[in-house]
Amino acid sequence: MAGLGSNRRKDLDEDDIRIRPGKRGSRPRTRTRPKHEDAREGRVLTVDRGRYTCLLEDESADESPTGDRSITAMKARELGRKGVVVGDRVGIVGDLSGESGSLARIVRVEERRSTLRRTADDDDPYERIIVANADQLAIVTALADPEPRPRLIDRCLVAAYDAGLEPLLVLTKADLASPDDLLAMYGALGVEYVVTKSESNWDLDPIRARLAGKTTVFVGHSGVGKTTLVNELVPDHQRAVGHVNEVTGRGRHTTTSALTLRLPVFERGEGQGWVVDTPGVRSFGLNHVDLSRVINAFPDLAAGTEDCPRACSHDEPDCGLDAWVAAGHADPARLYSLRRLLKTRERDEGD
Ligand SMILES: Nc1nc2c(ncn2[C@@H]2O[C@H](COP(=O)(O)OP(=O)(O)OP(=O)(O)O)[C@@H](O)[C@H]2O)c(=O)[nH]1
Ligand SMILES: [Mg+2]
Ligand SMILES: [Zn+2]
């Protein structure tokens, strides 16, 4: 609601309109307001100053949905302070025509399957939910220009494991540098990866295969090429791309809001995929993350924690994992990688 004057807000708020005396104004509230059983389900595509762009999916659609409608909605007062974020499934009532100037109301937020959160840095108590209901986190890293920063990759991995999202390493700008060093660093973690380079005829099949049937959030520093890639994957929708400053090696934060786009279906039978392009981040604060959950992403090591002391951090002298690995039950490189991730909150290599 920020940024809207109170007069304007009144004009746009259907709740206000409803209680004004008028032709239909004396209708008892209980008849129109109970559980909103008539609410249509929509998907929040993007949020801009209290306005939510929501997609009402064509329920009859199969192979190539054509009846989708994108509408603008606001949060109904009854939702109070409950946040609505990109990716939320919401119940919407009111004017669902999608005509310009129309405004519907979000009356319900469905339970989230997943939430990807971050704090601006580790000292920041204020955590933001970046996206709800995603399946996969694409950690987008340029191989050069800007230089890869493994600290951010590690932090994003921890955030993905914490949120229960599958991580996917997307290494861009392979025309400028080789991916070998980075891949060696992440090999033991077994993280899925794709390597891309922009050229007149991109080979997008490997990344499309990884995105099919999932909702994937693209995160990474500014200038790594998130939007360039998303534009290529969703050619009908072109967002602005920036350029990387030659002096600082940084992008210019060209993208300023998260936006969900539907991927075209390329092969029959392939599930529908969605991508969420997000603004570049300088760092990925992990204040909210419970590090004891990270081990759950390492089943080969989690099986060896029985002899650990209570509340073991798995990065201390008595940790049972050293013996587990020494006995040949798991690859020492995996333990090394896990410990690097567990330390990522303390490591300060600058960003
Ligand atoms: N050489 C090369 N340049 C690329 C490649 N992909 C993207 N770029 C360039 O990198 C610059 C930044 O790209 P964007 O797509 O705007 O980067 P972004 O990650 O969306 O940046 P923010 O929106 O600021 O977070 C643009 O000038 C792109 O043309 C690539 O594979 N190779
Ligand atoms: Mg961008
Ligand atoms: Zn331990």
Q: What is the pLDDT along the chain (351 residues), one digit of tens a residue?
A: 444 344 443 343 333 333 444 444 444 444 444 578 889 999 999 999 899 999 997 665 555 555 678 999 999 998 988 889 999 999 999 999 888 899 999 999 999 999 998 887 767 777 788 899 999 999 999 999 999 998 899 989 999 998 999 999 999 999 999 999 999 988 888 899 999 999 888 899 999 999 999 999 999 999 999 999 999 999 888 778 888 877 677 777 888 899 999 998 876 666 789 999 999 988 888 877 888 888 888 889 999 999 999 989 999 999 999 999 999 999 999 999 899 888 887 755 444
Residue 167, Cβ density class (10 Å: 0-12 exposed, 13-18 middle, ≥19 buried): buried
Residues 68, 98: one domain? yes
Of the candidates 277, 308, 325, which is a domain's last residue?
277
Distance 232 CA to ligand 2 centre (A): 12
Residues 255, 206: one domain? yes
Structural domain including 342 reads 291-346
Does residue 297 sit within a domain?
yes
Kindly give the residue spans of alpha helices, DSSP state H, lying in 72-225: 150-163, 180-187, 205-211
Spatial distance between the Cα atoms of 274 and 286, rounded to a whole number of angstroms? 25
Q: Which of 228, 276, 283 to mutate to test the pocket of ligand 1 (most atoms within 8 A of CB)?
A: 228
Of the candidates 79, 109, 139, which is a domain's last residue?
109
* pLDDT at site 60: 59
* pLDDT at site 200: 83
- Contact status, residue 93 vs residue 110, Cβ threshold 8 Å: no
Residues 146, 259: one domain? yes
Task: Tell me which residues have their CB closer than 6 angstroms to ligand 1.
Answer: 172-173, 175-176, 196-198, 220, 222-228, 241-244, 251-255, 279-280
Residue 336, Cβ density class (10 Å: 0-12 exposed, 13-18 middle, ≥19 buried): exposed
Distance 34 CA to ligand 1 centre (A): 48
Among protein residues, the one with the nearest Cα to ligand 1's atom 11 is 243
Distance 253 CA to ligand 1 centre (A): 11
* pLDDT at site 214: 96
Among protein residues, the one with the nearest Cα to ligand 1's atom 22 is 222
Among protein residues, the one with the nearest Cα to ligand 1's atom 32 is 173
Q: Which of 219, 241, 244, 351 to mutate to test the pocket of ligand 1 (most atoms within 8 A of CB)?
A: 241
Closest ligand by atom to 226 CA: 1
- Contact status, residue 239 vs residue 231, Cβ threshold 8 Å: yes
Question: Alpha-carbon dihedral of residues 170, 173, 175, 178, nearest 10 degrees?
Answer: -60
Does residue 124 sit within a domain?
no
How many CB atoms within 10 Å of residue 330? 20
Residues 55, 86: one domain? yes
Is the link from the previous residue into 146 a cis peptide, with omega within 30 of 0? yes
Ligand 1, residue 255: give the atom nearest the CA: 23
- Contact status, residue 145 vs residue 221, Cβ threshold 8 Å: no
* pLDDT at site 67: 66
Q: Residue with structure tokens 């100037």?
A: 101
Does residue 286 sit within a domain?
no
Residues 248, 138: one domain? yes
The total number of residues written for the chain in this structure: 351
Closest ligand by atom to 308 CA: 3
Q: For residue 188, how far is the Cα from the chain centroid?
A: 25
Q: Residue with structure tokens 């064509």?
A: 58
Ligand 1, residue 253: give the atom nearest the CA: 24
Residues 96, 147: one domain? no
131 residue type, one letter: V
Residues 141, 224: one domain? yes
Of the candidates 247, 277, 307, which is a domain's last residue?
277
